[in-house]
Structure 1
């Protein structure tokens, strides 16, 4: 297990669970929320049912070494780098799943 990859994944899971540090501010200088965080997403893969109803999503937050996804269906942050895979559980206390559903419903 690569400790750098695991630390990166753990830090993202911690932010989702505990909220962002006070020095994480949005463009207006206000505390960052889930929608602000998603503005920097590299890709979003929506999981929907046959009626196009939102169920969950995977959000790519790092790419090219390592690749890191937030998976709201499983409740894990998943990291991949050089053939290694690590994960860390999170509790969605920042409302990222709700924000993703809101974005999906805008389409």
Structure 2
């Protein structure tokens, strides 16, 4: 099914891009990605206002793809397909959180 292949490709492409930034410790690249490619970055805080994670909307509509750093995963859903996810390596998730915490939050 072509739609299913597109769905998986978008999910995996997002995860691979983020893993690439983390592996090369490319803070500037991640910041450019958040500024130019992400549709929205939602900062999550606890009741005392401390940063606890972020949700980054990467694609919206067909499919919807987002990164949830509290879950440590790239998530995707699309018209009739159940929400699926791909876990991010802990180092990648920590890198994203560190960059957002330092430069965005």
Same fold (TM over 0.5): yes
Structure 1, unaligned stretches of length 5 or more? 21-31
Q: Which one scores higher on RCO, CA 8 angstroms, separation ≥ 6? A: 1
Other-structure match for 1:6: 8
Higher helix share: 2
* Alpha-carbon distance in structure 1 between the residues aligned to 2:21 and 2:45: 26
- Closer, same or farther: CA 70–80 of 1 in aligned 2, 3 Å: same
Q: Does 1:35 align with 2:37?
A: no
| Cα contact 1:16–1:94 (8 A) shared by 2 | no
Match of 1:86 in 2: 84
Q: TM-score, normalised by structure 1?
A: 0.75
8 A contact 2:44–2:52 mirrored in 1: yes
Moved over 3 A (4+): none
What is the Cα deviation at residue 62 of structure 1?
0.6
Matching residue within 64, 67, 82 for 1:67: 64
For the aligned residue pairs, the C-alpha RMSD in angstroms reads 2.3
Matched, 1:16 2:18: yes
- TM-score between the two structures when normalised by the length of structure 2: 0.76
Q: Provide the C-alpha distance between the structure 2 equivalents of 1:38 and 1:11, rounded to a whole number of angstroms.
A: 15
Going from structure 1 to structure 2, the CA distance change for 1:93 and 1:79 (only over 3 Å counts) comes to: closer
